[in-house]
Chains A and B, each alone.
Chain A
Amino acid sequence: MHALTIRLQDEMFALEATHVREILDPVPITRVPNAGDFVGGLINVRGSVVPLADLRVSFGMDRPPPDADTRIVVMEIDLDGEPLVAGILADKVYDVTDITAASIEDAPRVGMRWPAEFVRGIGRRDDDFVIIPDMNRIIRAEGDRNSSLAANERTDR
């Protein structure tokens, strides 16, 4: 797997490089009230309005304010056959690397601080572990949260 490695808090994550469109320096973020922390912002990517997702929320990590290393990785994620463009906040972007399929293992059921369903696998790079997040599942879980909110709004009206 061709992967773009990024840092979130002190863990290395691998994003599928074929889904990465571009990497941006931090841009002004528009807050979306009541949207929840995961997709609490919108950014302007060359004239289109793109949601900004913060994976650190899904993984229950600290969220320090942006610093000199902060980047936004713009990804195109296939969701039920429809492409969804979203920005992913990264504390730091490393490089593009090859992670051999053989080195990828399933997420262990124990010994992990994070929700196991959000981890597609754990890859190895040199002597380090790289977390491969399951973007589809994360986005669907968080997206559903917002749509169920809406459903309530509708029923209550």
Chain B
Amino acid sequence: MIEQLADPLVHLIRNSIDHGLEDAARRAESGKPAAGTLRLSASHRGAEVAITVSDDGAGLNGERIRRRAEEAGLIAPGQPISEAELNRMIFQPGFSTAAQVTSLSGRGVGMDVVKRTIDGLRGSIDVDTRPGKGTTMTLRLPLTLAIIDGLLVRVGEDRYTIPLAAVEECLELPTGVDGDARGRSFLNVRGELVPFLKLRQVFNTEGRPDPYQKVVVVASDTTRVGLVVDQIIGNNQTVIKQLSRLHSGLKTFSGATILGDGTVALILDVMHLVAFGQKLEERRRAETLGRAA
């Protein structure tokens, strides 16, 4: 896999240097240090390895991408399109917004080849850009066979595995904080506020919750979040199996595993799960506000 990654990575780095980073004068104007920063990092996320190439350059130029995409007939003029979709246009064959061809890049071959290579490895590529702040390209590649330590929990009738690396501690949900937790869903863990997510709600679990709910405190990015479950079963060695293409869109699960009794358990992707839970709460909040109005 490493050999096949070399070319795409070189291409992404070249692209960042050539298209992303501005020249020293322009950087000085926008108050950035004259020397640009390009960061290459790799990390292990559930069933995937994430490799990011990020620069602190000008970011993608949405208008120029749109113009180029319209010229190339990829989208109809004036067609409404989301920012994310627009950014993904750069992966289309024959697409280049560089006004000038340089020795580094801008020949209009490349990003589509990068995407094809990554697709071939059953991975994905994501682009995240902030105008004036920089661009981050994230490659996600599957680990075909990987074993992690997991914490097996039960939510209703279903069992899920939480990667142990993300787990900080487990505690019991104090009664009273429970109720239906309108308005207040955070805990006091030794003087620190820890927001919690009820997995029963996130997963639309049916039936009655167990009387004594447990909280698994996980670390996600920079925050600590409690995941409320019915029961903590224990830790286990987990062989990660990838989800098929039919479920690859569900970012809240990084894979699945087969338990000792032969049933399948999903592995939670803590980072995405927290993001998903936040969105769910925002929606619920908006609904309650709407009802009150």
Contacts and interface: CB of A to CB of B under 8 A. Distances in A.
Contacts, number: 98
Given A31-B158, A39-B246, A155-B82, 15 more contacts: A30-B264, A32-B247, A33-B204, A42-B243, A42-B266, A49-B258, A49-B264, A51-B244, A53-B246, A84-B246, A86-B246, A139-B246, A149-B250, A153-B276, A156-B279
Contact of B158 (A30, A84, A142): A30
Interface string B83-104: 1110000000000000000000
Given A143-B246, A154-B84, A42 B202 contact: no
A32 B248 contact: no
A35 B264 contact: no
Contacts of B82: 155
Interface in B229-278: 241-253, 256-258, 262-266, 272, 275-276
A143 B245 CA distance: 7
Given A34-B250, A150-B251, A43 B84 contact: no
B287 interface: no
A154 B126 contact: yes
Interface in A126-157: 139, 142-143, 146-151, 153-157
Contacts of A148: 249
6 contacts: A30-B266, A32-B266, A34-B252, A35-B247, A39-B246, A153-B275
A84 B265 CA distance: 20
Contacts of B258: 44, 47, 49
A50 interface: yes
B275 A35 contact: no
A85 B83 CA distance: 34
Nearest to B256: A49
Contact of A147 (B205, B248, B265): B248
A157 B251 CA distance: 12
Interface residues of B, number: 36
B244 A85 contact: yes
Interface in B94-146: 126
Contacts of B212: none
Nearest to A41: B264
A28 interface: yes
Contacts of A49: 241-244, 256-258, 264
Nearest to B158: A31
Contacts of B84: 151, 154-155
B229 to A, nearest CB: 13
Given A30-B256, A143-B246, A153 B279 contact: yes
B249 A147 contact: yes
B202 A33 contact: yes
Nearest to A80: B245
A139 B249 CA distance: 14
B106 to A, nearest CB: 27
5 closest Cβ pairs, A-B complex: A150-B249, A33-B203, A146-B249, A147-B249, A30-B264
